[in-house]
Structure 1
Amino acid sequence: MAEQIVIALILGLVEGLTEFIPVSSTGHLVLVQQFLPAGSFLSPKSMGTFDVLIQLGAIFAVLLVYFRRLVEIVKTLPRSARTQHFVLAVLFSFLPAAIIGALAHDFIKNVLFETPSLICVVLILGGFVLLAVDKIKLQPKVHDAQDFSWPMAIGVGFFQCLAMIPGTSRSGSTIVGALLLGADKRSAAEFSFFLAMPTMAGAFALDLWKSRHDLSMDDGLLIMVGFVTAFISALFVVRTLLDFVSRRGFAPFGWWRIIVGVLGLALLLPIR
């Protein structure tokens, strides 16, 4: 049981720390599970429940951090044209991934997620993209997430679809897309947070529905450990990320992706 609790802590920590930074939480989870003794960790049914609920922990973290902003949005929505514009922009941005994700869900889960070497290659390529974007002298026109135009928001939404390739990173693709479309670093990261709410909630609901017959709470303690760990670690990331990227940019995440991708490939070669 002690070993299982440690594995639950590790997986919850990985989910929470990587969900909202541009390094691919799913890619990291797949690689970590590849090298941990996860085969004896949980039963297949409980593992499905574990994966779904640690993602819910990360969702709760971003909802908690932005709770006051969300309440303010709800209060001003009926009378504020700016708030109405922002809510529609987030919804328009969410639609491309919602449609494509629903149509391609089984292929993504059963084919792309089962290829760890592909994840490593995509991590490396995405790392070089982050390094390149960080060096480009962009001239941002938008400095507040609420000022994204509808075409800009829809463009970010299509960038988000790239994250269906495991290893790409949902936050990475949306942040890079927003930067290239004219946002500054802080507003790009913040819009990515807001877009994460419907996107992750939708993905969670779809996963929950697809796996509804396989869910089990037989290993409730381990599932709860993973959930709480994901929630706490994601809470830390969401509260600190905006200030970090404003000061340091995205190059540290680019180098991290490259290092993890190279190490992953090196460790996978003996396995293959």
Structure 2
Amino acid sequence: MLDILKVIILGIVEGITEWLPVSSTGHLILVGDLLSPSMSEEFMEMFNVVIQLGAIMAVVVLYFHKLNPFSPTKTQRQKMLTWQMWIKVVIASVPAGVVGLLFDDVLDRLFYKPLPVAVMLIVYGILFIIVENRNAGRKPNVTKISELSVQMLLWIGFFQMLALIPGTSRSGATIVGALIIGVSREVAAEFTFFLAIPAMFGASLLKLAKYGFAFTAGEFGLLLLGCLVSFGLSIVAIKFLMGYIKKNDFKIFGYYRIVLGALIILVSLVQLIIG
């Protein structure tokens, strides 16, 4: 029963933080250390990635019409634009896909630790504040996904690749990259949601394959529960973010990241002293 409650808490954390640019990995590491679930370290490493499947389904549900090129209610032009959008998603996904396949184990071994996560939280928190201060009063150059050029897509893809380092935040990195080149906040956030579909499906399948699909019935139940909770909270988080950025910038998330990074460092130091 205790592990069920812990999984529900982790699902809530994942659902809320996956789409806000604050690093779901950073939060899961911090909360996971505090909760200390009884599951194996290997299972929890896989769980923290695969739980994202619930978050992905929230995007699919909320944006199903926009993502569906076969919708009978769309005109031929709208269907063509939908296919073009998917092509843009594929192009922007290439850098992270290639590096993730080649270096996933190395990146996890080197960076899936509290200190690197904390550092990346703080670095990107500062970057959010700098970029938003620079963009203050400027009109965005891109206000529609259809206006994104191949060069822009590869730039955004490069930033998504950087997010393979835990603590960076996939959504945070891609949004920062998009803001730097003059993409509006709404387009940056929405395109980030769509980029998550192949990126997170791929990462989840990779982790499942490495884990070997060797679940006990109890582990499978906990994983399914975490995904369901993550799905529900992701719906709330996505709607909140899209409403929030219509009138506000991302600086508040930058300040939050800096505080969270400092908190992770503090907790790590306390554990080091006690241990």
TM-score (norm 1): 0.90
Gaps of 5+ in 2: none
How far apart are residue 67 of structure 1 and its match? 0.9
Q: Does 1:120 align with 2:118?
A: yes
Identity within the alignment, %: 39
Offset from partner CA, 1:114-141 (integer Å, 9 cap, x none):
x211111211111111111111134411
Aligned to 1:22: 21
Q: Measure, in 2, the Cα distance between the counterparts of 1:52 and 1:207.
A: 7
Q: Measure, in 2, the Cα distance between the counterparts of 1:214 and 1:126.
A: 36
Inter-CA distance 266–125: structure 2 relative to 1 (3 Å threshold): same
Counterpart residue type for residue 181 of structure 1: I
Inter-CA distance 232–169: structure 2 relative to 1 (3 Å threshold): same
Q: Measure, in 2, the Cα distance between the counterparts of 1:160 and 1:49.
A: 20
Greater mean alpha carbon deviation, residues 242-251 or residues 213-222: 213-222
Aligned to 2:63: 66
Q: Measure, in 1, the Cα distance between the counterparts of 2:255 and 2:237.
A: 18
Aligned to 1:7: 6
Q: After the TM superposition, which residues 46-65 of structure 1 pair with which residues of structure 2 at under 5 Å, given as runs?
A: 46-47=43-44, 50-65=47-62
**RMSD between superposed Cα atoms in Å:** 2.0
TM-score (norm 2): 0.89
Q: After the TM superposition, which residues 21-170 of structure 1 pair with which residues of structure 2 at under 5 Å, given as runs?
A: 21-38=20-37, 40=38, 42-44=39-41, 46-47=43-44, 50-71=47-68, 73-75=69-71, 81-113=80-112, 115-137=113-135, 138-170=138-170
Q: In 1, are the aligned partners of 2:25 and 2:167 still within 8 Å (CA)?
A: yes
Q: Measure, in 1, the Cα distance between the counterparts of 2:9 and 2:157.
A: 31
1:141 aligned counterpart, secondary structure: coil
How far apart are residue 46 of structure 1 and its match? 4.9
1:223 aligned counterpart, secondary structure: helix
Offset from partner CA, 1:143-166 (integer Å, 9 cap, x none):
012321111111100111110111
2:246 aligned counterpart, secondary structure: helix
Count residues in correspondence: 267
Counterpart residue type for residue 7 of structure 2: A
1:157 aligned counterpart, secondary structure: helix
Offset from partner CA, 1:139-192 (integer Å, 9 cap, x none):
411101232111111110011111011111100111111111121111111111
Offset from partner CA, 1:186-231 (integer Å, 9 cap, x none):
1111111111111111111211222225433333443333222111
How far apart are residue 49 of structure 1 and its match? 5.7
2:247 aligned counterpart, secondary structure: helix
Q: Does 1:261 align with 2:261?
A: yes
Q: Measure, in 2, the Cα distance between the counterparts of 1:254 and 1:52.
A: 23
